[in-house]
Structure 1
């Protein structure tokens, strides 16, 4: 592939409403559209991704948006876009995103999109499923524990007591789960694995009882509680795996993301299979088999979704030759605007830069 060929097949982007018409034609009847980003802090990636997402929702009936964020924080936004919250606006609904880097989801593009999504859900016909906003990451160990306990306190106080006893296994540590992971890996303490698995199993075993008693109206609350319990189980494994090597923890994390997407699809399947949009970094959503990740034994969401769903999945990445990014010098440090270095010689970004086209999209499958 050379710059001349890219110019011939590139689809220029002008910023108008028709920019992505041909992209939607390419997506066709796909049920999974994965929309990446090259950084967690560049406005253009977020803006274009939101524009594509609006059209997928409005024109192709996508009803699931799963993002690279924690389930409990995203659940608050989910309630807001469904009109089931006391939050006054999108900014307030997003205020639960406190984990670094906060600008990843608490930014102007996401605020505007969340307001649009709430308005969209208000305007749809009753027969159409409203769109949900969900987190698929697994960092929220303690927040998810609190969510499980809150649910059980409401529906089954005796089960809540047993859950507190099981989850008390983590009480010897601060709110930093990495301390737990290090201590278990070093052999200083026994892991909490059995306790968190037992809790998930009990919740699943009681699901039918809760539904019979509380009715289908309570099905979503139960699903959210189960998902939090699954997250606790996977998060516990993840923090232990952190100290065994990158590939082990990375694969656990991306498997959890895919399982979350599959759980959502199964939960919301009412005869007409729901369709899902995924927002995450390119490193999660590209196909790992086409990158050096596979050489290190790493897999990712893009690979797993493509393996399981084939042509029903479309993977879309974003990149740039240079620009700016909101980032921090150290983990937990204040946000700064930093320059993105020009792309490496011989990279795809370098090739695209040689075309002289400032903004475009290209179908690499046929290139």
Structure 2
């Protein structure tokens, strides 16, 4: 089903379950190795993921996969800095070592927009190298975020909502347009390396632009901020597809790694009824059967999650699935792990099409309010093309905390001459 698709979106029912990550990695390895997929695009911050991309595509300055993941330090670090992603990055580095042309090596990229400060620093660092005068202008634009408040994204959003601080919308848009106006000037240097460096910087500028809007809307309504974030992730995905198309000379096939709530079609859930869209609904609407949406579920086990935002990751017991949920149904009917193929399956559509409860655990798990915090109604056959049920699961194993990188190394883009 997935081999010939343009976009294969593979989810996770939690942000902290080993089997979801490891099975997803195994599927992705097969899609890259056997079916020519060009990249993984993950629900991760662009600057942090781009360091992994540099490593898997052969950057000798990054010593190993643990080092490649070292910039994932923002909560929840375990979501990407864990043993499964490390092992996948090592595999992808080895796979790419057998490919001579840099443009044909498979990459690893981030889709998310939470990296406001890191992306600002990355844009300035890039311009310091290629155009110092433009770097001075960028600093002037981004200085807007320092007016009267600490440069903290949530504080910025709250202050602008209250009218205590002017917004930076005009400044970040001006900087993005300024960078794009000089695209061809910057791309005339050093061939492939110049193209990669510019693309990385342009995407960081786009992250700043959309992150500024996101943090201004997050205190005014969940739906509008959710939609803005997922629209940004889809825009980043399509921009990546265009970039790789130019590099490779043909439309690339891409795997997306994100939570079920992002990759399942929102139109088949309570989310859609509230007016929300997500990556799955937008990509499926645009690409139809050339988009394959794969979800995960579990009945019970353990999960790595926090009890509060910015809290430590803990190994928590996942309560058995609630009666009336899809998870409980699979546990009772299947008695173990299973691949449930939903696309074009009329029998399963009749049995599973009735809206049922479905569990979603993010970076927080609150068993004491399980029904209210972690269940919603969905129509599974409309939500996914396939679902992988793993009846008993175990918590994801994080890597040891990474040492803070020296300041001059934190926002490196693509290495010159690579």
TM-score, with normalisation over the residues of structure 2?
0.80
- Whole-Å separation in 2 of the counterparts to 1:33 and 1:148: 30
Matched residue, 2:32? 57
Q: d(CA) in 2 for partners of 1:52 and 1:213?
A: 38
Aligned counterparts of 1:359 and 1:233: Cα–Cα separation in 2: 43
Label 1:215 to 1:120 Cα distance change in 2 as closer, same or farther (>3 A). closer
SS at match of 1:318: strand
Which whole-Å deviations, capped at 9, do the CAs of 1:67-123 have from their partners, x for residues lacking one? Answer: 011000011111111111412111111010001111101111111111000000001
Confirm whether residue 96 of structure 1 aligns to residue 76 of structure 2: no
- Which residue of structure 2 aligns with residue 148 of structure 1? 123
Aligned match of 1:221: 197
1:232-289 C-alpha deviation (Å, 9 max, x unpaired): 0000000001011100100010001001110000011043111100001000000000
Per the alignment, residue 11 of structure 1 pairs with none
On the 8 A contact 2:188/2:194 being kept in 1, the answer is no
Q: 1:329 aligns with which of 292, 295, 307?
A: 307
Q: Structure 2: 5+ residue runs without aligned partners?
A: 349-418
Could you tell me which residue of structure 1 aligns to residue 224 of structure 2? 248
SS at match of 1:180: helix
Larger helix proportion of the pair: 1
C-alpha RMSD over aligned residues: 1.3
Match of 1:174 in 2: 150
Equivalent of 1:107, from 82, 86, 106?
Answer: 82
Matches within 5 A, 1:1-367: 26-124=1-99, 126=101, 129-172=104-147, 173-269=149-245, 270-365=248-343, 366=345, 367=348
Tell me if the contact between 2:3 and 2:31 (Cα under 8 Å) persists in the aligned partners: no
SS class of match (1:362):
strand
Name the CA distance, whole Å, in 1 between partners of 2:102 and 2:84.
29
Secondary structure of the residue aligned to 2:108 is: strand
Deviations 1:180-237 (A, max 9, x none): 0011111112110000000000100100111234545411100110000000000000
Q: Is the 8 A contact 2:39 2:107 kept in 1?
A: yes
Please give the alpha-carbon distance, in whole angstroms, between the structure 2 residues aligned to 1:314 and 1:42.
Answer: 22
Structure 1: how far apart are the matches of 2:160 and 2:203?
Answer: 24
For the residue of structure 2 that corresponds to 1:317, the secondary structure is strand
Per-residue CA deviations over 1:33-66 (Å, capped at 9, x if unaligned) read 0010000101111111111011001011101101
Q: 2:294 and 2:92 mapped to 1: Cα distance?
A: 21
- Tell me, which stretches of 5 or more residues in structure 1 are unaligned? 1-25
Flag the 1:29–1:244 CA change in 2: closer, same or farther, 3 A. Answer: same
Residue number in structure 1 paired with 2:369: none
TM-score by length of 1: 0.91
Structure 1 residues 108, 127: CA separation in 2 closer, same or farther (over 3 Å shift)?
closer
SS of 2:69's equivalent in the other structure is helix
Counterpart position of 1:7:
none
> Is the 8 Å Cα contact of residues 145 and 151 (structure 2) preserved in structure 1?
no
Compare 278-287 and 175-184 and name the one that shifted more: 175-184
What's the offset of the Cα at 1:354?
1.3
Secondary structure of 1:330's partner? Answer: coil
